[in-house]
Amino acid sequence: MSVTGKRILLGVTGSISAYKSALLVRLLVKAGAEVRVVMTESAKAFITPLTLATLSKNPVLSTLVTTESGHIGDGSWNNHVELGLWADAVVVAPASAHTLARCATGLCTDLLSAVYLSARCPVFFAPAMDVDMYHHPTTVENLRRLESFGNHIIRAEHGELASGLVGEGRLAEPETIVHLLDEFFKPGAGSVKQGILSGKQVLITAGPTQEPIDPVRYISNHSTGKMGYAIANAFAKAGATVNLVSGPTALPLPDPAIHRIQVRSAQEMFVAAQDAFNEADIIVLSAAVADYTPAHPADRKIKKKEAVFSLELTKTTDIAATLGSRKRPDQWMMGFALETDNEYENAVKKLQTKNLDWIVLNSLRDEGAGFGHDTNKITVIDKGGQTHKFELKSKDEVAQDLVNLIKKKLMSV
């Protein structure tokens, strides 16, 4: 592994996720890394220094001076500069909101913050906190500031939190952190975000559209936006800059770094997607856009009178076809096809007529796939005619499969 022989200084802060640091230390040591641990005082309430010292095979430090008698003059100096120079990487995991704030503003109040300010090596922050704390503007700004300083952010994951809420805020799994470090130390890499998607602009459409009949009623579909939001999250975690054009959903933003543009109608979605299209390197059109919209929406509520009511509909702009006709050779585009009959043939036709590079086929005949589910079963067809079939998975896993397919293609050109 690329992390073998590397010197990793692990900072552990006061978060319930601190218990995961034991596994993180064990995995790093097993991978051949030399690990030293610096804990904040509040971290000791969640995991003991003895546990981490035993696993790392090094003393755990938490104060600038280590004493036996309690008197500063009787102790030994824990040189924060030396620690910062020793490390090949500093990894703060879990990074509490308090620690993020201190590091982002340069407050030097304990050994860990002193090491951070002294470190000349790459520094990685893996946040862990409750969902509302993670999405609070101050935390978002602190993460942005830390990233602007050249630090690396290992984004929090979505799931059930200690509070009982479900959302973003979970510490990235130790296996994920070790994998990212291993990727970072690979020759020619140099960053967990300097993979093939680093710096890429990604445009994603997600969710349904609502086509107004009158101020009260609209035409829509059963899309929840879950698949598109999962894709946006996967791209953000891979280091891409994500613009998410979202129809009406009840979903929270999956990653604070994602720029969400909220729209309602198919026309609004087309305008927003068109505005972001030229700057995009990758376009993923996963929204369920209405094919037709009322030709003359009423400006007042339509009263129930006739036994039969006719509604004139007109075609909406075909976003995939329009953007596909403008696609440059350096752009890559993926579309979605939700079908009930002649699935493969219809998907291939859409792939070809809309000038897509990939088409993701969903069949409503597959149990657990399609709208409303937390799972999906897809078949991806590329413009070269190659077919990739995937089993039923969570939408987060499906999103990662799609990102991996795109990464593989980018690495081959």
Which residues fall in the annotated binding site for CTP?
A: 291, 301, 336, 350, 354
Which residue in the block uniquely carries the two structure tokens 């939190």?
161
Cα–Cα distance measured from residue 157 to residue 254, given in angstroms and rounded to the nearest whole number: 9
Count CB atoms within 10 A of the CB of residue 169: 27
Cα–Cα nearest to 344, from 388, 311, 312, 314? 388
CB 270 within 8 A of CB 290: no
What are residue 117's phi and psi, to 5 degrees?
Answer: -70, -20
Name the binding residues: 291, 301, 336, 350, 354
Cα–Cα distance measured from residue 356 to residue 347, given in angstroms and rounded to the nearest whole number: 11
First to last CA, the chain: 26
Which residue in the block uniquely carries the two structure tokens 């090491």?
115
Q: Which segments of 131-200 are extended strands (E)? A: 152-153, 157-160, 166-170
Distances (CA, A) of 367 to 37, 108, 174, 206: 48, 55, 33, 22
Distances (CA, A) of 294 to 220, 287, 297, 410: 11, 19, 6, 41
Cα–Cα distance measured from residue 299 to residue 212, given in angstroms and rounded to the nearest whole number: 10
- The CA-CA-CA angle for residues 227, 233, 235, to 5°, reads 105
Rounded CA Rg of the chain? 25
Torsion of CA 327, 332, 333, 334, to 10 degrees: 170
Which is the catalytic residue, given 221, 233, 243, 355?
221
Ordered alpha helix ranges (H), 2-119 = 20-30, 49-56, 80-86, 97-105, 111-118
Q: Which segments of 171-236 are extended strands (E)? A: 201-206, 211-212, 218-219
Q: How many H-runs (helices) and E-runs (strands) does the chain carry?
A: 13, 23
- For the question of residue 221 being annotated catalytic, the response is yes
Strand order in the sheet with 332-339: 259-262, 241-246, 201-206, 282-285, 332-339, 358-363, 379-382, 387-389
Report the SS3 class of residue 19. Answer: helix
* Structure tokens given for 326: 């403008």
Q: Which active-site residues does the annotation give?
A: 221
